[in-house]
């Protein structure tokens, strides 16, 4: 087994220029852990937020850091007592650990097997690697926090990004009516994913446009954009409706609103459910661009724009 690997690393917080491609030792595979050869790694906005040091109060980093929290790959070695997956199993994971250090923008990752689930077999490695973080975020926001039910209406703000793209499909699979909000260039894209209605936040007042579509208001707002888009949308929330945000912590909101902030948790059982949905053809992952490991800096610059459509993925 290889003792070293190529990985993107940084040794201090800062901009994308802090990231370089280096050769590092592969950590020893401990009790309950497996070594996974990474086939593809999804890129998320949190990867640059962690690199900039924005989350250091809650998520400590141990340098050098390998960024990246999403991956799909193949189990190549098992540690003592790790028996859930055979060598050769094709798995995927949201690999956020308590200390930020061993990420997925690398050839291999050592990870407790409890993080892993079998990956969907009917989609590419790149698409599978694009699911875990955004799929779990949408799942936990819509269903655990938002309690979305069949027949309800959900308004998704930022519905063309990684989280929103899966959010549209999960809400449709539940039998909800979906209104997606993004800019003009993504209106057709949101409809192809299943949105019943779409709104362009640049050319319309979001709340007024949604009230014209559903005068009784929406049951749930799933906020993946925040800012002015969120403020405008609030007038379209039913008095009994819920607001779930993955950005806004609620400090500038009317305390009368039924509000929950979600920070996505690893959950291998829910990853198993997402696999079933993908294999049933109810979940697809539009990968808008792939990058090599050597292009990690470009990938991190793209995700920092806040205007990525679907998912971008690194193939090491």
Ligand X SMILES: NC(=O)c1ccc[n+]([C@@H]2O[C@H](COP(=O)([O-])OP(=O)(O)OC[C@H]3O[C@@H](n4cnc5c(N)ncnc54)[C@H](OP(=O)(O)O)[C@@H]3O)[C@@H](O)[C@H]2O)c1
Q: Does 137 help bind ligand X (rule: CB under 6 A)?
A: yes
Q: Which of 122, 263, 272, 292 binds ligand X (CB under 6 A)?
A: 263
From 18-26, 64-72, 84-92, 220-228, give the range in contact with ligand X by CB under 6 A.
220-228
Handedness of CA 251, 253, 256, 261 (dihedral sign): negative
Q: In what order do the strands lie in the sheet with 177-182?
A: 197-200, 177-182, 153-157, 218-223, 237-245, 258-261
Q: Two tokens at 35?
A: 């070594």
What are the Cα distances from residue 204, in Å, to 113, 135, 184, 232, 306? 47, 29, 11, 10, 20
| Closer residue to ligand X in complex, CB, 35/299 | 299
Asked if residues 36 and 70 have their Cβ atoms less than 8 Å apart, the reply is: no
Residues 27-66: b if buried by 16+ CB within 10 A, e if exposed? eebeebbbbbbbbbbbbbbbbbebbeeeeeeebebeeebb
Helix (H) or strand (E) holding 192: helix 187-193
From 98-106, 270-278, 285-293, 299-307, give the range in contact with ligand X by CB under 6 A.
299-307
- Backbone φ and ψ of 225, nearest 5°: -135, -40
Q: Does 309 help bind ligand X (rule: CB under 6 A)?
A: yes
From 17-25, 29-37, 108-116, 177-185, give the range in contact with ligand X by CB under 6 A.
177-185
As measured in angstroms, the least distance from the Cβ of 248 to ligand X is: 10
As measured in angstroms, the least distance from the Cβ of 183 to ligand X is: 3
As measured in angstroms, the least distance from the Cβ of 271 to ligand X is: 15
Residues 157-176 interacting with ligand X (rule: CB under 6 A):
157-158, 160-164
| Closer residue to ligand X in complex, CB, 120/164 | 164
Residues 20-49 interacting with ligand X (rule: CB under 6 A):
44-46
Q: x/- string (CB under 6 A) for ligand X, residues 223-262?
A: -xx-x-x----------------xx--------------x
From 89-97, 278-286, 291-299, 301-309, give the range in contact with ligand X by CB under 6 A.
301-309
Cα–Cα–Cα angle for 137, 58, 316, nearest 5°?
A: 60
> Which residues neighbour 163 within 8 Å (Cβ) at sequence distance 6 or greater?
134, 137, 138, 141, 224, 246
Site residues, ligand X (CB under 6 A): 44-46, 134, 137, 157-158, 160-164, 181-183, 185-186, 201, 224-225, 227, 229, 246-247, 262-264, 303, 306-309
């Amino acid at each position: 087994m290889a003792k070293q690997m190529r990985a993107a690393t940084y040794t201090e917080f800062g901009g994308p220029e802090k990231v370089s491609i280096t050769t590092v030792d592969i950590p020893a595979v401990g009790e309950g852990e497996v070594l996974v050869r990474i086939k593809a790694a999804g890129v998320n906005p949190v990867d640059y937020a962690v690199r900039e040091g924005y989350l250091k109060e809650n998520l400590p980093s141990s340098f050098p850091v390998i960024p990246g929290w999403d991956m799909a790959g193949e189990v190549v070695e098992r540690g003592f007592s790790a028996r859930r997956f055979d060598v050769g199993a094709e798995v995927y994971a949201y690999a956020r650990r308590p200390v930020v250090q061993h990420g997925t923008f690398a050839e291999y990752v050592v990870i407790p097997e409890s993080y892993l689930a079998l990956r969907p077999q009917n989609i590419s490695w790149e698409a599978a690697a694009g699911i875990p973080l955004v799929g779990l975020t949408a799942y936990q926001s819509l269903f655990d926090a938002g309690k979305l039910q069949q027949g309800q209406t959900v308004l998704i703000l930022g519905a063309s990004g990684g989280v929103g793209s899966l959010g549209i499909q999960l809400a449709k699979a539940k039998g909800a009516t979906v209104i997606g909000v993004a800019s003009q260039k993504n209106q057709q894209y949101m409809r192809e994913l299943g949105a019943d209605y779409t709104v362009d936040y640049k050319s319309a007042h979001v709340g007024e446009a949604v009230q014209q579509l559903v005068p009784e208001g929406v049951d749930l707002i799933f906020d993946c954009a925040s800012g002015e888009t969120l403020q405008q949308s609030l007038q379209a929330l039913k008095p009994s409706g819920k607001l779930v945000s993955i950005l806004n912590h609620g400090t500038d909101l009317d305390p009368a609103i039924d509000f929950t902030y979600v920070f996505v948790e690893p959950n291998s059982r829910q990853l198993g459910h997402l696999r079933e949905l993908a294999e049933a053809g109810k979940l697809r992952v539009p990968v808008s661009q792939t990058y090599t490991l050597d292009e990690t800096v470009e990938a991190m610059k793209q995700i920092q724009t806040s205007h990525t459509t679907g998912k971008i993925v690194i193939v090491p």
